[in-house]
């Protein structure tokens, strides 16, 4: 935990044996964490059945043709509000409703950022997600005590420039954990 006991701006790594299959090998960026609860985005799971072009069509956002960024991945950000979109991005782009999380990262959930990305005028780094992971007051702390999650410093290379299937193992390695030695059974000290 950070000095104030909250993990905002940190990564959560699901432990092997995670009871909730929706979070098996999940890597979550925590956008907010306080006594009222926590909210984060799963950053290593692809959204099923939608791509950037289809998303822009659904939102009636015109794309310039040819468009160089049609292969932008859409992430499954979590099981809550699956129809709601979020963009985790570098803090070089912001608007009034942008939540600045750290000196380098921010979160925006408006159509304006998608329009900016479509025009090539968005942030340098970004991750698009549908849905989010949420915890009520004290719920995440309880799950941490049950050894369901590990936390690590956020790493922009890991968030924005690592292949989806490599994010969780690289985050574990970053913590110094040898995956071959990790058991799905855990105890409490």
pLDDT per position as a tens digit, 106-161: 999 999 999 898 888 899 999 999 999 999 999 999 999 998 999 999 999 999 99
Ordered DSSP codes for the chain: --TTS--TTEEEEEPTT-SSGGGTT-EEEEEEEETTEEEEEE-S-BPTT--HHHHHHHTT----SS-TTTT--EEE--SEEEEEEEEEEETTS--TT-EE-SSSEEEE-SHHHHHHHHHT-S-SSEEEEEEEEEE-TTHHHHHHHTT-EEEEE--HHHHHHS-HHHHHHHHHHHTT--GGG--S-----
Residue 91: what pLDDT? 96
CATH number 3.40.1740.10 is the correct assignment for the domain at 10-85+127-181: yes
Residue 112: what pLDDT? 93
Q: How confident is the model at residue 4 (pLDDT cuts 50, 70, 90)?
A: confident
pLDDT per position as a tens digit, 156-182: 999 999 999 999 999 999 988 877 666
Q: How many CB atoms lie within 10 A of CB 106?
A: 23
Q: What is the mean pLDDT of the chain?
A: 88
| Location of structure tokens 């005028």 | 121
How large is the average pLDDT for residues 45-49?
91
Pick the more confident residue, 55 or 189: 55
Pick the more confident residue, 23 or 19: 23
In terms of Cα–Cα distance, which of 135, 146, 132 is closest to 185?
146
Does pLDDT of 12 surpass 60?
yes
Q: How confident is the model at residue 8 (pLDDT cuts 50, 70, 90)?
A: very high
Does pLDDT of 1 surpass 60?
no
Structure tokens at 50: 């939608």
The domain limits of the chain are 10-85+127-181
Residue 182: what pLDDT? 63
Q: b/e string for 124-134 if b means 16 or more Cβ within 10 A?
A: ebbbbbbbbbb
C-alpha span between 90 and 184 (Å, rounded): 34
């Amino acid at each position: 935990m950070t000095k104030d006991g909250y993990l905002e701006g940190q990564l959560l790594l699901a432990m092997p044996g995670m009871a909730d299959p929706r979070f098996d090998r999940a890597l979550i960026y925590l956008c907010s964490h306080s006594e009222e609860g926590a909210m984060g985005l799963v950053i290593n799971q692809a959204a099923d059945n939608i791509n950037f072009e289809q998303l822009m069509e659904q939102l009636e956002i015109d794309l310039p043709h040819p468009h160089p960024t049609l292969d932008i991945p859409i992430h499954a950000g979590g099981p809550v509000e699956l129809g709601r979109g979020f963009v985790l991005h570098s803090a070089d782009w912001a608007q009034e409703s942008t939540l600045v999380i750290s000196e380098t990262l921010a979160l925006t959930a408006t159509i304006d950022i998608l329009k900016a990305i479509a025009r090539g005028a968005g942030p340098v780094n970004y991750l698009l997600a549908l849905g989010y992971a949420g915890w009520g007051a004290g719920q995440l702390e309880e799950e941490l005590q049950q050894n369901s999650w590990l936390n690590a410093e956020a790493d922009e290379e890991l968030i924005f420039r690592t292949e989806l299937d490599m994010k969780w193992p690289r985050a574990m390695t970053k913590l110094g954990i040898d995956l071959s030695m990790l058991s799905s059974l855990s105890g409490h000290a």
